[in-house]
A and B are shown apart, each in its own frame.
Chain A
Amino acid sequence: MDTTGSASGQRAATWAWLTLVVITIGSWWLSPAHSGGTALPSAPITAVVLLLAIIKSRLIIRYFMEVRDAPRWLRHSTDAWLAVLFAAIFVIYLI
């Protein structure tokens, strides 16, 4: 019988969803298409955008995919994927 934190897991997922939606709508202001006129590159804005993306990704992985309650190998490998991918993205961006 699988009842791994059913009700509380559900609640946590709902909070995760709300957070995700808020962040998404918030990033509308950061987008170059929104800026009107010519957009300029901006490392600080990009850093914020990538950080928000990491947060959103981890929320989905942990709360939607339920990796929060998963064995260590799964938690670690998904975190490793996030770390390697976003580190690579940011480093390449800065070069």
Chain B
Amino acid sequence: MTLTARPEQRRDEHVPGDNDMWVMVLGDMIIFAGYFIVFMIYRSMHAREFLAAQEHLDVNIGVVNTVILLTSSWFVVRAVTAARAGRSAQAIRLVYGGGLGGVLFMALKGYEWVAKIRAGHGNSEMFYSFYYVVTGVHLIHVLIGLIVLGTVVRELRNPGRRRATVVESGAIYWHMVDLLWVIIFALFYVMR
């Protein structure tokens, strides 16, 4: 059974997911934009100090984590496609795959934090205070994302539901988590 039909919309464009989720996603994007801009302001006030601190970040883990999250997002895209075509079992497997990526990301991030703290890069360095807060808030979003993916799986398991809006909304939230990380990666790990 394919997803329950959406209300009629113009054929060539539709809002994926529901409007409530877009309030969440757009609002969250604006809030994070606030964090990024404040970070940049403090960065330009302490440019040398920040750059020196950046060198101690493990860019290998950064790259791996980014690829993991991008791939998990790709799994979720494929899950939505499968769900739309009525292949619910495959969709569920793909969502699990995406979720697994999230779990791996969290594990690697945790390892990274412990390594940094052990090496002495704690809150006392301003770059790292930003790093822990921003990646920490992002990590909470990943955790919430795992719960969201869980509700998507629950939705797909029930033949009586499988609503398009729920699956799409969950996917959009997960992509937002990915999107925010891509920017965090650029600002903290790569730019100089």
Chain A residues in contact with chain B, CB under 8 A? Answer: 1-4, 6-7, 9-10, 13-14, 17, 20-21, 24-25, 27-28, 30-35, 38-42, 45-46, 49-50, 52-53, 56-57, 60-61, 63-67, 69-72, 74, 77-78, 81, 84-85, 88-89, 92-93, 95
Contact = CB atoms under 8 A, between A and B. Distances in A.
B191 A46 contact: yes
Contacts of B37: 85, 88-89, 92
B182 A57 contact: yes
A13 B33 contact: no
Contact of B192 (A1, A40, A92): A40
A7 B1 CA distance: 18
B55 A60 contact: no
A53 B185 CA distance: 9
| Interface residue SS majority, chain B | helix
A89 B184 CA distance: 12
Contacts of B59: 28, 31, 33-34
Contacts, number: 170
B106 to A, nearest CB: 19
B186 A52 contact: yes
A24 to B, nearest CB: 5
Nearest to B41: A92
Contact of B74 (A9, A14, A27, A92): A14
Contacts of B2: 1
Interface of B: 2-3, 5-6, 10, 12-16, 22, 26, 29-30, 33, 36-37, 40-41, 43-44, 47-48, 51-52, 54-60, 62-63, 66-67, 70-71, 73-74, 76-78, 81, 84-85, 164, 168, 171-172, 175-176, 178-179, 182-183, 185-187, 189-192
Given A39-B192, A41-B51, A50-B186, A88 B40 contact: yes
A41 B35 CA distance: 22
Contact of A64 (B14, B36, B41, B178): B178
Given A28-B63, A34-B59, A70 B15 contact: yes
27 contacts: A1-B2, A2-B164, A6-B84, A7-B81, A10-B81, A13-B77, A17-B74, A21-B70, A24-B185, A27-B190, A30-B190, A31-B190, A38-B55, A41-B47, A45-B191, A46-B191, A64-B73, A64-B175, A69-B12, A69-B13, A69-B16, A74-B22, A81-B33, A84-B33, A85-B183, A89-B187, A92-B41
